[in-house]
């Protein structure tokens, strides 16, 4: 059975097609600069990657070209072969604790939650509408980034604010990157042969979050009401003192929108280093002696360690810790720095094992009190699995 996994952004459309239940990737790609000049797309099939320029006025144009590529590359011979399309949707609010088949009511709900994710939900809906128009016979499934975290108890998701702000306005910790944390949890359940493990899962990339998994389900997570919370990230500040906002507005004569833009797009690695939001650039500059790059790296590592230590205490015991995401899977230096600072918890690194990028591997020493893994995350396959299960 052929299933498409889709992640639609405001100007992009990523996809992978699977043969299910084998989970074999048949074709993948991304359409970029949709609605802009010089739009293009990249297709990867049979180990070859091809880039093509194309006029992409909207997401429907991208879907039409995608279908043409599927047919011309003999991935399908008929549109009826595509039985399902799974869509990543960033925000499902408190309503959706699992994936759901998309109908007009679901679309209306996703749209109503756009105020909670104004940069993401409207873009996700563009992809949903485009595929439902071009592939009306395929079942469409919404897979929510927030759903995995809906198992959190009230003590974990409530802020110390007037309680009515939660009941009336929906202000609470929602958590994000849930599809990734779900994948990491399921992978470690199999690895540890334990259906109810206590875990700390670290999704570390340009966007980053850490989750505490208790008895096999999410108990707490670092991302909160918005994706700009918790850890320091590529361009996002993470947790800050809220009094900074009105203070800097007055001092620098900035509007609220300008300050929020800075906190989301000009802070984090980029803001502290003044160089880049890419951890690879930061590490290279730090190795060359750039003090602000060194500071950026230390701040990032310290915030990770703080959350792991906090969750360790909350959980009581931890069966495993894992690193995932672009930084977690590929930065040996970041993993080493984090693990060395966790020595008080009995964590010990195997430096030879840690000398690897993008591979599933146990990287803790044999006498480490907590095993630590690298797990290349796979959000696309989680979307495909949920879609397949509905069908």
Chain-centre distance for alpha carbon 258 = 25
Total residue count of the chain as it appears in this document: 391
Q: Which of 57, 80, 105, 145 is catalytic?
A: 145
- How many helices and strands, by DSSP H and E, does the chain display? 15, 14
- To the query of whether residue 182 is one of the catalytic residues in this protein, the response is no
Joined together, the tokens standing for residue 35 give: 């609605």
Angle at 58 (CA atoms; ends 53, 61), nearest 5 degrees: 60
- Sheet arrangement for strand 24-32: 48-53, 40-45, 24-32, 12-19, 2-8, 82-89, 139-144, 100-101
3-class DSSP state for residue 350? coil
Residue 140 token pair: 């469409």
Element (H, E) at 127: helix 121-134
**Euclidean distance between CA atoms 81 and 78, whole angstroms:** 6
DSSP designation for 281:
H
Neighbours of 164 (CB within 10 A): 9
**Active site residues per annotation:** 145
């Amino acid at each position: 059975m052929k299933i498409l996994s889709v992640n639609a952004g405001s100007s992009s459309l990523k996809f992978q097609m699977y043969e299910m239940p084998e989970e074999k990737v048949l074709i993948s790609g991304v359409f970029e600069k949709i609605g802009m000049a010089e739009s293009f797309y990249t297709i990867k099939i049979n180990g070859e990657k091809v880039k093509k320029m194309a006029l992409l006025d909207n997401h429907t144009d991208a879907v039409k070209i995608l279908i043409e590529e599927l047919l011309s590359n003999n991935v399908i011979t008929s549109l009826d072969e595509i039985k399902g399309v799974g869509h990543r949707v960033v925000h499902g609010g408190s309503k959706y604790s699992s994936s759901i088949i998309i109908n007009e009511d679901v679309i209306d709900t996703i749209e109503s939650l756009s105020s909670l994710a104004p940069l993401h939900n409207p873009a996700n809906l563009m992809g949903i509408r485009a595929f439902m128009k071009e592939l009306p016979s395929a079942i469409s499934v919404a897979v929510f980034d927030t759903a995995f975290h809906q198992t959190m108890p009230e003590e974990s998701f409530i802020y110390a604010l007037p309680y009515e702000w939660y009941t009336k306005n929906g202000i609470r910790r929602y958590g994000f990157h849930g599809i990734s944390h779900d994948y990491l949890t399921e992978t470690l359940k199999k690895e540890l042969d334990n259906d109810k493990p206590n875990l700390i899962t670290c999704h570390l990339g340009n966007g980053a979050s850490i989750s505490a998994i208790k008895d096999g389900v999410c108990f707490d997570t670092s991302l909160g009401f918005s994706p700009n919370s918790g850890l320091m990230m590529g361009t996002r500040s993470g947790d800050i003192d809220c009094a900074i906002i009105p203070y800097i507005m007055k001092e620098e004569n900035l509007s609220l929108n300008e300050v929020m833009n800075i906190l989301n797009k000009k802070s984090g690695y980029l803001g502290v280093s003044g160089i880049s939001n890419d951890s690879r650039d930061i590490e290279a500059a730090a190795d060359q002696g750039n003090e602000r790059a060194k500071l950026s790296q230390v701040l990032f590592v310290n915030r990770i360690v703080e959350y792991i230590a906090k969750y360790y205490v909350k959980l009581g015991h931890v069966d495993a810790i894992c690193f995932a995401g672009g930084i977690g899977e590929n930065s040996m230096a970041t993993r080493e720095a984090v693990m060395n600072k966790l020595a008080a918890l009995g964590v010990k690194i195997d430096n030879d094992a840690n000398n690897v990028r993008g591979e599933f591997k146990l990287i803790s020493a044999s006498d480490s009190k907590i095993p630590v893994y690298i797990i290349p995350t796979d959000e696309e396959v989680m979307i495909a699995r949920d879609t397949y299960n509905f069908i």
